[in-house]
């Protein structure tokens, strides 16, 4: 079955609303906000060390909110939790460009506090969105849903990144300021916050998220598979730590070390998003052929290889090529990881399992972001990127162990390769 070009009509209404909300938030949050926030912080007079603290504060927030976000979804219900996450995200995004107007005693930590609020909201939204899509899809179309969600999110990021790249230049002319001043970036960030807020509209239209009765015989609730979740946590922590060297510092590297214009940074990142959209659409076909776990592992290796030009060649073309590779492979990796995680556990534990993975993401990203600023000041960007290559390559070990364990269990005569409680679901 070819599920790569799956139409939206195969999904129920709630799944389509989840995909739409993800795309809209990506436009403002992943697109405009992610491109401009570090550049804005630099224009406020801060250096790489502060950028590292700024990024790590958000990452550690995402880590600490992982399990909390899953628990909120179970206690408050998916719809209310998603709306709460979206509102908090929008408030945090709006607060960052207020950094110039707060009292002088608050200006040093205001960007960090606003980033903490933004990422806390995003954790609440994202953790429960992944679990909700697992509930509102079937085993047959779940890979397609995650891949389509990744593709539409990539389209939102593409539009936001390209648009965000030209916003500072437009506002610079309107404000009669140059691009070394924070004003043009501040206005661009407010545009991003406004666009992301539109994602609350599809979330407000979501109906009750409840699985229907199983078509398969009822099974007892499965125990939490602790060892696989721990191994996946180690894998994701190392992988995200390596990826963070590029994600957290690439914009700053292009801006300060290579003197690349903001519009060019936006265009390069936009080109990467085009590749990411195309790559994510291939995910279901590759997953059907090789498995989601295998695809996550191979795409991780590809990220490690993609970071190597940043180490060897201090030129914007090498940095651009590395960014294109990392964005494309990350677009393959995320839906494969999400589907693999949902396959590993009983439906009761899905929010818990993805919450644990989210904690691992935040821990890896946060540690490297925090230390990365000091590494840049002491040894330069190329040493930091070398650390990224090593950490990403090391992460392959834990997921390889998980895949070997699953293969061994599947080979046993009395084993059942199906996921416990993985029934056909609809709203």
What is the tens place of the pLDDT at every residue in 234-248?
998 999 889 888 887
pLDDT at residue 415 tops 70: no
> Which token pair is 129?
């969105």
pLDDT at residue 115 tops 70: yes
Q: So what's the pLDDT on residue 218?
A: 46
Residue 426 · residue 14 · CB < 8 Å: no
* Alpha-carbon span 336 to 64, nearest angstrom: 24
* Alpha-carbon span 230 to 239, nearest angstrom: 14
Q: How many CB atoms lie within 10 A of CB 176?
A: 7
Using a 10 angstrom Cβ sphere, with 0-12 exposed, 13-18 middle and 19 or more buried, the burial of residue 177 is middle
Over residues 133-161, mean pLDDT? 79
Residue 386 · residue 311 · CB < 8 Å: yes
pLDDT above 70 coverage of the chain, percent: 87
Which is more confidently placed, 66 or 348?
Answer: 66
* Alpha-carbon span 334 to 215, nearest angstrom: 29
For residue 411, name the pLDDT band (cuts at 50, 70, 90).
low
CA 277 to chain centre: 14
For residue 308, name the pLDDT band (cuts at 50, 70, 90).
very high
In three-state secondary structure terms, 413 is coil
pLDDT at residue 5 tops 80: no
For residue 345, name the pLDDT band (cuts at 50, 70, 90).
low
pLDDT at residue 350 tops 90: no
Which is more confidently placed, 241 or 331?
Answer: 241
Which is more confidently placed, 341 or 252?
Answer: 252
> Which token pair is 225?
């598979």
260: left (phi over 0), alpha (psi -120 to 50) or beta: beta
pLDDT at residue 212 tops 50: no
pTM of the model: 0.70
Which is more confidently placed, 405 or 218?
Answer: 405
Which is more confidently placed, 415 or 121?
Answer: 121
Over residues 284-310, mean pLDDT? 86
* Alpha-carbon span 196 to 273, nearest angstrom: 18
Over residues 18-32, mean pLDDT? 90
For residue 285, name the pLDDT band (cuts at 50, 70, 90).
confident
Domains of the chain plus CATH, in order, are 8-209+224-411 (1.20.1250.20)
Over residues 88-106, mean pLDDT? 93
For residue 2, name the pLDDT band (cuts at 50, 70, 90).
very low
Over residues 356-381, mean pLDDT? 84
Over residues 3-13, mean pLDDT? 61
């Amino acid at each position: 079955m070819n599920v790569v070009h799956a139409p939206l009509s195969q999904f129920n209404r709630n799944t389509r609303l989840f995909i739409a909300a993800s795309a809209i938030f990506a436009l403002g949050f992943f697109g405009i906000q992610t491109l401009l926030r570090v550049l804005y912080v630099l224009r406020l007079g801060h250096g790489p060390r502060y950028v590292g603290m700024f990024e790590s504060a958000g990452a550690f927030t995402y880590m600490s909110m992982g399990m909390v976000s899953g628990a909120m979804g179970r206690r408050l219900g998916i719809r209310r939790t998603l709306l709460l996450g979206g509102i908090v995200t929008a408030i945090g995004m709006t607060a960052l460009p207020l950094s110039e107007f707060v009292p002088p005693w608050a200006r040093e930590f205001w960007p960090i506090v606003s980033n903490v609020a933004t990422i806390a909201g995003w954790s609440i939204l994202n953790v429960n969105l992944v679990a909700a899509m697992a509930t509102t899809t079937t085993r047959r179309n779940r890979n397609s849903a995650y891949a389509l969600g990744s593709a539409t999110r990539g389209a939102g990021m593409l539009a936001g990144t390209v648009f965000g790249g030209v916003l500072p230049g437009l506002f610079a002319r309107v404000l009669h300021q140059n691009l070394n001043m924070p004003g043009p970036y501040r206005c661009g960030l407010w545009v991003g916050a406004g666009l992301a807020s539109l994602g609350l509209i599809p979330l407000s239209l979501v109906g009750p998220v409840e699985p229907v009765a199983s078509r398969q015989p009822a099974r007892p609730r499965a125990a939490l598979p602790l060892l696989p979740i721990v191994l996946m946590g180690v894998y994701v922590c190392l992988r995200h730590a390596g990826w963070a060297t590029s994600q957290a510092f690439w914009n700053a590297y292009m801006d300060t070390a290579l003197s690349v214009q903001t519009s060019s940074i936006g265009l390069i990142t936009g080109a990467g998003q085009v590749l990411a959209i195309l790559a994510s659409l291939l995910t279901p076909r590759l997953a059907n052929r090789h498995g989601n776990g295998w695809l996550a592992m191979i795409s991780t290796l590809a990220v490690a290889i993609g970071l190597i030009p940043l180490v060897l060649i201090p030129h914007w073309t090498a940095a651009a090529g590395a960014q294109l590779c990392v964005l494309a492979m990350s677009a393959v990796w995320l839906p494969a990881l999400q589907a693999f995680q949902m396959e590993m556990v009983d439906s009761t534990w899905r929010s818990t399992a993805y919450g644990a993975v989210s904690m691992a993401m935040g821990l890896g990203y946060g540690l490297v972001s925090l230390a990365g600023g000091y590494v840049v000041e002491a040894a330069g960007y190329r040493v930091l990127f070398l650390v990224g290559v090593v950490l990403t390559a090391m992460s392959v070990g834990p997921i390889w162990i998980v895949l070997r364990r699953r293969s061994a269990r599947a080979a046993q005569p009395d084993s059942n390769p199906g996921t416990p409680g993985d029934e056909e679901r609809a709203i």
